[in-house]
Amino acid sequence: MVKGAWTGTSMMAKSDSVTNQWSSISDNRTDVATVVDGAKDTVGYTMTYAADSLMAVSSLMPASSAKNAPMVTNHVVGRMVDGKIVGTNTLELVSKPDSVVGRGRWVATRKP
């Protein structure tokens, strides 16, 4: 069950270098609020659950903090492994659907 508060770490697909850390709140329904550490805005996700797995798509968000950064959506999949949620994500340009900006992986642990 993924209901509750989680903290996560994101990395590039083929690297152990951390790209960001984040916190997420799930009500175990369809909407999740996520905020990257140090960011001002919360990003909303629409979730789908199936057994021990999840799929999610973010609301529109800028690809980076740079001025005039292109808008992207984050497509996420994950599953429970040893009490953690592990998964992958793909950032896609809003202006060119199916145009991949980046791929990553992530792990989240439940907040105490």
Structure-token pair, residue 57:
């798509």
Return the pLDDT at 1: 58
pLDDT tens column, 2-33: 767 889 999 999 888 998 899 987 766 667 77
* β-bridge partners, 44: 33
Q: What angle do CA 29, 35, 40 make, to 5 degrees?
A: 135
> Is the Cβ–Cβ distance between 85 and 2 less than 8 Å?
yes
Domain 4-110, second-level architecture: Beta Barrel (2.40)
User: What residues contact 93, with CB distance under 8 A and at least 6 apart?
Assistant: 63, 70, 71, 72, 99, 101
Structure-token pair, residue 95:
């202006």
The domain spans of the chain are 4-110
Residues of the chain with pLDDT under 50: none
Percent of residues, the chain, with pLDDT higher than 70: 94
